[in-house]
Structure 1
Amino acid sequence: MEVNLNTISEKEKIKYQGYGVTVSGVVNAQLLAVSRSCHAVRLFDGEVGSCQSLCNKPLNLEALYKWERYDDQLKRMSLETRNSLSSLKLVGNSIWLGKSLSGRNIDLLNTVSFDLRVQDPQVLIENYSALFSKKVLR
């Protein structure tokens, strides 16, 4: 089972393993959303069924507006707020937050993986070396 390293606890890992479930996770990014239809196919004018190459071309997204629930309208975010947000990447039918899970204990995972599409390779190298030296991501 793929889990979010930000939210899984030792108790949950033990519970899953008791059912024979292997716990894995991507450590250099966080999955935020998945859609049933593929936004990349529409944006790149692709054809469903022969569109696998589009998943290798992440598209950088920038949040410009936020939804004001009580006013029932969109409001433009300030430049300061937009600059404080991490980068978002559209990859196929999913949206990822390209952010290292800094300081997270990877011992909670049976399998660790990196997604090379959503983060700078230098950051990946730093995380990869930390993975084997301290068992904790920096």
Structure 2
Amino acid sequence: MSIELPKDAEGREIPLDTVALFNRVGNVYSIVRWIFTTDFDLSDGWSNKWRAITDRGFALDPALVYLTTPKTDTWEKLEEDLGRGADALNYEACAYFGKNACSCSSCIADKGETCERVAMRDIADRIRKLRGEYDA
């Protein structure tokens, strides 16, 4: 079996010596190690997948983060993400985060809190950034 390097949300290969990854609004995650999981149970969502482990102990799916700071967030992008969540019949928070179905083990919302709480905090954070409250 050949194991490929992990790929980011834009499909770029992530070198295993990468120590920083970014979420879609530009917040940085400090990466302390990489794990490739193997398992004979192919129904397990963690089987044969890369995970980036942060300094806070979170396991990130590389396909949901960026190797470099992503393009600047816009009000239009926020509206698009909110619209996608509002139009979803189920798993609205998953749709907001750009997921087609609920895949908790690979989602940035899987932090031991409800997905809705993480989504609301993400929305509030994006609004503050778009208003320029974090500019120094």
What TM-score comes out, normalization by structure 1 length?
Answer: 0.29
The structure in which a higher percent of residues are strand is 1
